[in-house]
């Protein structure tokens, strides 16, 4: 909480606006649809130093959906993202891009800057809130392809409200393994069995896994 300035507390006693700290803002949102992978450009580009947070909600196809992502650009100039699925499969759903920074979009209302001059609140920038996270994964199985790569499958029961999105930045970062390639993670929504899967693929086969699944929703 700010020692001076402005703090706004909601009915639940939670600080929703503070003149020292940014809230999680929605910098872009929309839908995606395509075969195998979909490119999305950020307009305008996102100027945060840290990469933006990517949240998705794939359409329920009654079966399973495999999802990964990558972010294009560099600190201060993030230009877009690619949402990828399994080879030769269609993917579709909703997304929003979040960051701890506001955009100067409102022609009227209220803006707040922190002590360094960074814009941390604009009454025209939508916000988002984290709703839950979990790390209670169960190792289920390993498969091996013709090249010798192992894929480990970790599962957790999955159910969510219609307005929850999963952060998939975790599915774009290689994890450590016993070689110089690393473990490639991926997220699989298995709607038919109400399961959420994280998979890791590597030439070696480490089993330790504790990445969190983080959910959020957009708010007014």
Which residue ranges make up each domain of the chain?
7-131, 133-211
Please say if the pLDDT value at position 30 is more than 90.
yes
Distance between terminal CA atoms of the chain? 21
Range in 37-41, 83-87, 186-190 the model is least confident about: 83-87
Per-residue pLDDT band for 61 (boundaries 50, 70, 90) equals confident
Q: What is the pLDDT of residue 20?
A: 64
Beta-bridge partner residues of 55? 96, 167
Q: What is the pLDDT of residue 1?
A: 54
Say if CB 191 and CB 62 are below 8 A apart: yes
Closest residue by Cα to residue 211 from 180, 185, 179: 185
- DSSP character for 5? S
């Amino acid at each position: 909480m700010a020692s001076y300035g402005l703090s706004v507390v909601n009915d639940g006693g939670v600080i929703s606006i503070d003149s020292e700290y940014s809230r999680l803002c929605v910098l872009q949102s929309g839908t995606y649809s395509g075969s195998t992978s979909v490119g999305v450009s950020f307009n305008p580009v996102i100027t945060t130093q840290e990469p933006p947070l990517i949240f998705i909600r794939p359409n329920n196809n009654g079966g399973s959906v495999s999802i990964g992502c990558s972010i294009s650009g560099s600190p201060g100039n993030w230009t877009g993202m690619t949402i990828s699925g399994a080879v030769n499969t269609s993917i579709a759903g909703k997304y929003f891009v979040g960051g701890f920074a506001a955009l100067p979009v409102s022609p009227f209302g209220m803006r707040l800057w922190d002590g360094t001059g960074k814009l941390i609140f604009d009454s025209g920038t939508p916000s988002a809130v984290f709703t839950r996270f979990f790390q209670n994964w169960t190792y289920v199985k390993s498969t091996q392809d013709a090249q010798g790569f192992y894929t480990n499958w970790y599962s957790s029961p999955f159910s969510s409200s219609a307005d929850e999105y999963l952060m998939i930045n975790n599915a774009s970062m290689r994890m450590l393994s016993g070689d110089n390639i690393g473990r490639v993670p991926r997220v699989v929504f298995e709607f038919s069995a109400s399961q959420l899967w994280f998979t890791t693929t590597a030439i070696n086969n480490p089993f330790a896994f504790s990445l969190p699944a983080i959910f959020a929703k957009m708010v007014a």
